[in-house]
Structure 1
Amino acid sequence: MSTTKKIGNYRYRILALLMFATTINYFDRSIIGVMAPTLEKMFGWTNADYANIMISFKVAYAIGMLSMGGLIDKLGTKKGYILSIGLWSIFGMLHAAVRPAFSVVGFAAARFGLGFGESGNFPAAIKTTAEWFPKKDRAFATGLFNAATSIGAIAAPFVVGWIVHENGKNWQIPFLITGALSALWVFLWLRTYKKPEVHPGVSKEELSYIQSDSGKAESEDKLPWKSVLGKRQTWAFALAKVTDAVWWFYLFWGAKFLAETFDVNIKNIALPFFVIYILADGGSILGGYLSGVFIRKGWSVNKARKITLLICGLIILPVAYVAITDSKWLAICLIGLGAAGHQAWSANIFTLASDVFPKKATASVVGIGGMVGAVAGIVADFALGSVLDQAGNTGYFWAFLIAGSCYLIILGLVHLIMPKMTPLDENLNLIKE
């Protein structure tokens, strides 16, 4: 702690704003999942209807990941982040304007706009982390702001349970809350954010620490978005992001699974979600911290990240048992364990992009990976919605089986594509070791 005081800690103010933005992002994103059983009854949705609404979000998210990632690299973090949060806040509030006569189309349209705006959060946040933290601290910093996804997911059922009645009365209000929070965030971001090398609040000592393992300074020349497409490192990262489909399964289908299997309703969903996502928070922070510990012990970045990912994959395996247990709380704890493992995995996967690519290409690479993750989520939603309507809750058995086993398989493939995480220079050429 004494070292931190000597060099300054302004970077943690920036990190706090990343956490705040990500909390808003996931609160907005999670509301519909929490209210899904109630909205289904109110509007007469089938599982396929609900799946189509979720698919609309992910289609926009996939499109947005490609365009927003490149746009953020082009505009810079400050302007790009404001554009993203402005878009998602507007469309988040527009959910409240949907009327029963066109509920599926209306929610799908609102989710489409929300997904496009929200796609900018992680490219912007990862780019900011690369700008403000040295490599040895990035996984931990990423783990902290990534943990805010769970804060948003935890807040949603408590707010919904407090405001919305079991018959759906007041369902519009939670969708409106994020507008005020987003306005506050934009105000703070405009007052606080500049690049560290030109920020008056950053001491010379802190700037030296931030740049301690970055090598020479990058030029301000922009890289074409297409330049990262042909790099196998891009596709190794993108393959690892296929696991986003599992996280979205927990987020958007978790409340439905608990309602249909254990009769958990809108008024008592808060505690199960609290358990699941507090475990996810712990996983995010500890997973990011663990790989940093390995690096400080002298391990290579490649070994530290991949061993941590292997541990995550092993921790997640028991989630495959969820759909065949009769115990509500065992199911909740196993989902929580899977969510914890995923968030630890996610914290380390995100750092792969900034470990390997120059800072000016990071948002584009994260965007491509996010697009692949969104496409995986679309396929999963379509398949699960159809299976649940045709075969009932047995569809959850296959969903949890895949959720538990896919991480280790994907890690093996990532290692085949990128056996060494050799960094690329600002022209995307391998840096000689």
Structure 2
Amino acid sequence: MGSAPVLSSTSKIAAASRTRWGILAMLFIVTTINYADRATIAIAGPDVAKDLGLTSLQMGYVFSAFAWSYVLAQLPGGWLLDKFGSKTTYFFSIFLWSLFTLLQGFVGFVSGGAALLLLIVLRLLVGAAEAPAFPGNSRITSAWFPTHERGLAASIFNSAQYFATVAFAPLMGWMVYSFGWQSIFFFMGVLGIVLALVWRKVIYSPKEHPALSASELDYISQGGALVDLDSGRSNQHTASVNTFACIKELLSSRMLLGVYIGQYCINALTYFFLTWFPLYLVQERGMNILQAGFLASLPAIAGFLGGISGGWFSDRLLKKGYSLTVARKLPIVLGMLMSTSMIACNYVDTDVLIIAIMSLAFFGKGVGALGWAVVADTSPKEAGGLSGGLFNTFGNSAGIVTPIVIGYIVHSTGSFAGALAYVGAHAAIVIISYLFVVGEIKRITLSKSITSEPVN
């Protein structure tokens, strides 16, 4: 675990092969659309609230609806990934979340309580459909990437959440401004359905990919990639694991509990950005939705750059001979220190400084967002989807709590000052968790009693 593997000349040629990076590019594109679909409600939020007559409290519940079902569907989604494989499960995930995104555009044709209820129901359906996505990303990178490249791979697909804002927030802001808020739901829904069809054509497991060379397969396999994870699906992984006993054993790990706490807090920052940040710029800073859509992309650019930098830095530490524990923890701690800076927005008045501070905070958040790399490093080989689902269950509980708490803070105080302090404090808790709870980062090995009992 301490030193990076020495590559032979053959391995170096394989390392330069692009097949696995093409798979990662597809994950990046899909995750970009995933987060753009999540963000539609934030960009449309001011106009939706105005047209449907919704209060801040009601919008808080609308914002959180996605996360309720997303969290509840994580373990079933992980089980489906282990049962049917990443390609098939992910295809249905993309198709369904895109369909439910498209249907949100029709909410404007009803009014009053019916409109609120329909909007919440559709957000619940989007959340449930998206549940397998990130555990699927983790599973696929575990199968395609050796350990010393996994930090960068995970950070690339994870950084798509920022790229989604960079690529789509200005576009969606312009569409709302020019064509009405319904237009972005129609556009994103159709785009996602087309992408689901592309996914079926380009995604394979390593041993089934028609373009993968033998040398690259040897390179990733020797480097720790789980190349057999989805090869020739025969339910071998699902049948050999007792699901509930596996969950109990994962929850008994102090290391994983520390990681779960950290991910919850990191996602509190994410959900503030995905839900309330545009409204913060409009309500607290007096911008119009077109300005907010554009300026929200600047912290997102910083977050994207931070995400790539954090993954590169972590893998670089591994190649320099540092332990996996140091290589993962150091970027997380440094990144979260930068993220606490968002609290300073309460003490400045100019828009330029606000955006600069938020950009620093989300650059740090990107650097520290290595949770999925840690999951790929630690998940049991027999239950990668289930482990990722459990991790995402804890992490996205923040999506339930954060929008509602911020809604109450803003409603009761008439200001976002308390909300920024609340979100910024979560970054400090991440640091405490990784320094004092997580301990050594290593792969979990399930006990024989768990792996020998089939699931009915």
TM-score norm. by structure 2 comes to 0.87
Partner of 1:410: 430
Residue 197 of structure 1, CA deviation: 2.1
Structure-2 separation of matches of 1:335 and 1:16? 27
Residue 47 of structure 1, CA deviation: 0.7
Residue 359 of structure 1, CA deviation: 4.0
Superposed CA offset, 1:38-84 (max 9, x none): 22221211110000111211111111222212221221111111121
Superposed CA offset, 1:101-138 (max 9, x none): 32211111111011111222111111111110011111
Partner of 2:64: 55
Residue 403 of structure 1, CA deviation: 2.5
Q: Does the 8 Å contact 1:34/1:156 carry over to 2?
A: no
2:88 is aligned with 1:65: no
Q: Does the 8 Å contact 2:57/2:404 carry over to 1?
A: yes
> CA 1:65–1:406 in structure 2 vs 1: closer, same or farther (change >3 Å)?
same
Structure-2 separation of matches of 1:215 and 1:165? 47
Aligned residue among 300, 317, 329 for 2:340: 317
2:184 is aligned with 1:184: no
Residue 297 of structure 1, CA deviation: 0.3
Partner of 2:5: none
Q: Does the 8 Å contact 1:77/1:127 carry over to 2?
A: yes
> CA 1:216–1:315 in structure 2 vs 1: closer, same or farther (change >3 Å)?
closer
Q: Does the 8 Å contact 1:127/1:359 carry over to 2?
A: no
Equivalent residues, number: 423
3-state DSSP class of the match of 1:229?
A: helix
Superposed CA offset, 1:151-185 (max 9, x none): 2222333222332237xx53211101223322332
- What RMSD over aligned residues (CA atoms) do the two structures have, in Å? 2.2
2:304 is aligned with 1:292: no
Superposition map of 1:267-346 within 5 A: 267-346=290-369
Counterpart residue identity of residue 258, structure 2: A
2:182 is aligned with 1:172: yes
Aligned residue among 91, 98, 107 for 1:82: 91
Counterpart residue identity of residue 380, structure 1: T
Residue 90 of structure 1, CA deviation: 1.3
Counterpart residue identity of residue 117, structure 2: V
357-366 or 198-207, larger mean C-alpha shift: 357-366
3-state DSSP class of the match of 1:110?
A: helix
Q: Does the 8 Å contact 2:333/2:430 carry over to 1?
A: no
2:105 is aligned with 1:96: yes
Residue 4 of structure 1, CA deviation: 5.1
Structure-1 separation of matches of 2:74 and 2:421? 28
2:238 is aligned with 1:229: no
2:407 is aligned with 1:385: yes
Residue 427 of structure 1, CA deviation: 5.3
Structure-1 separation of matches of 2:66 and 2:256? 24
Structure-1 separation of matches of 2:225 and 2:68? 38
Structure-2 separation of matches of 1:262 and 1:417? 38
> CA 1:251–1:4 in structure 2 vs 1: closer, same or farther (change >3 Å)?
farther
Superposed CA offset, 1:291-314 (max 9, x none): 011001000111111111111122
Q: Does the 8 Å contact 1:7/1:209 carry over to 2?
A: no
Partner of 1:137: 149
3-state DSSP class of the match of 1:56?
A: helix
Structure-1 separation of matches of 2:374 and 2:76? 20
Partner of 2:3: none
Which segments of 5 or more consecutive residues in structure 2 lack a partner in the other structure? 1-8, 230-235, 450-456
Give identity over the alignment, percent: 26
Which segments of 5 or more consecutive residues in structure 1 lack a partner in the other structure? none
TM-score norm. by structure 1 comes to 0.92
2:368 is aligned with 1:357: no
Residue 10 of structure 1, CA deviation: 0.4
2:444 is aligned with 1:424: yes
Counterpart residue identity of residue 40, structure 1: A
